[in-house]
Amino acid sequence: MTAIEYVERSHKDVVLSNAARSGQFTTDPYIAAKKLKSLLYMPILNQGKLIGILYLENNLTVGAFTPARLKVLRLLSSQAAISLENALLYANLEQKLAERTQELNEKNEDLSETLSELKRTQTQLIQTEKMSGLGQMVAGVAHEINNPISFIYGNVDHASDYIQDLLNLIDLYQEHYPEPVEEIQEEIEDLDLEFVTEDLGKLLKSMKVGADASAILSCLCGVSRACMKLA
């Protein structure tokens, strides 16, 4: 067992006046190699706990570590023990503080990500609500448009047929009665029968086109409503 191992296990001083020539540690590899004379190993203790080992050597003088010097060294050793313990506590506190700071930073990052996710979810919910409201409005408009348009679309062909029959009847009257009475002639001139006859056909065609476009719009509104539901 080396001298330093002995001090570490026993917590006792090792004071050698001529270490290389006398004592139980003459075979210590370090002592033998250095041919040491005066040597001191002193444990640094705090409340019975080994904090460190004070090591001093003197290769010039035998018996360098006198009782008076040992007393001073023990006093210094006790002060060093307190300082070392405080340094260790401070280092440990710094480590714990760093760990706690890291933990708080990670929690802050997690909280920031959670808040960002909540904001995105809120935005999506608001957008979904807006789209739902728009879908309901579109459905209401489509319903209001669809009813009269369906009525017009279903009857415009019949109206066209009826009007054509009336126009044919007028042509037949004009063919058989080319010279109407004066009152009828004045009414024909005031009415501008030729213009009305020509324009009425165009008007019916426009109504037909408008009804077709409205039917397409109603269909698109239905598709849009279905898409809103799926969203």
Check: CB of residue 225 under 8 Å from CB of residue 138: yes
- Does any domain span residue 56? yes
**Is pLDDT at 231 greater than 60 in this prediction?**
no
Check: CB of residue 73 under 8 Å from CB of residue 54: yes
128 and 225 both lie in a single domain: yes
**Is pLDDT at 158 greater than 80 in this prediction?**
no
202 and 129 both lie in a single domain: yes
52 and 138 both lie in a single domain: no
Residue 230: predicted pLDDT: 47
- Does any domain span residue 55? yes
**131 against 36, higher pLDDT:** 36
Domain ends where: 16, 48, 65?
65
Q: What's the pTM value of the predicted model, to 2 decimals? A: 0.38
DSSP 8-class letter at 62: T
61 and 142 both lie in a single domain: no
- State the burial class of residue 4 (Cβ atoms within 10 Å of its Cβ: 0-12, 13-18, 19+): middle
pLDDT category of residue 99 using cuts at 50, 70 and 90: confident
- Does any domain span residue 139? yes
Residue 76: predicted pLDDT: 84
- State the burial class of residue 25 (Cβ atoms within 10 Å of its Cβ: 0-12, 13-18, 19+): buried
Domain that holds residue 166: 124-230
**Is pLDDT at 124 greater than 50 in this prediction?**
yes
**Is pLDDT at 120 greater than 50 in this prediction?**
yes
Tokens of 180: 């109407």
**How far apart, in whole angstroms, are the C-alpha atoms of residue 32 and residue 145?**
112
Domain count, the chain: 2
CA of 150: how far to CAs of 54, 211, 213, in Å?
A: 106, 8, 12
**Is pLDDT at 3 greater than 80 in this prediction?**
yes
**29 against 152, higher pLDDT:** 29
40 and 131 both lie in a single domain: no
53 and 144 both lie in a single domain: no
129 and 222 both lie in a single domain: yes
Residue 216: predicted pLDDT: 60
Give residue-wise pLDDT tens across range 173-190.
777 777 777 787 777 777
- Does any domain span residue 141? yes
Q: What would the DSSP string read from start to end of 200-225?
A: HHHHHHHHHHHHHHHHHHHHHHHHHH
Whose CA is closest to 224, among 126, 125, 145, 121? Answer: 145
128 and 61 both lie in a single domain: no
**127 against 221, higher pLDDT:** 127
Give residue-wise pLDDT tens across range 48-79.
888 888 888 888 888 888 888 888 888 888 78
Q: Which of 66-75, 105-114, 217-226 has the lowest mean pLDDT?
A: 217-226
- Does any domain span residue 102? no
Mean pLDDT of the chain: 78
> What number of other Cβ atoms are within 10 A of residue 163's Cβ?
15
Look up the CATH number of the domain holding residue 60. Answer: 3.30.450.40
- Does any domain span residue 95? no
Domain ends where: 49, 65, 81?
65
- Does any domain span residue 177? yes
Domain ends where: 45, 65, 85?
65
- Does any domain span residue 117? no
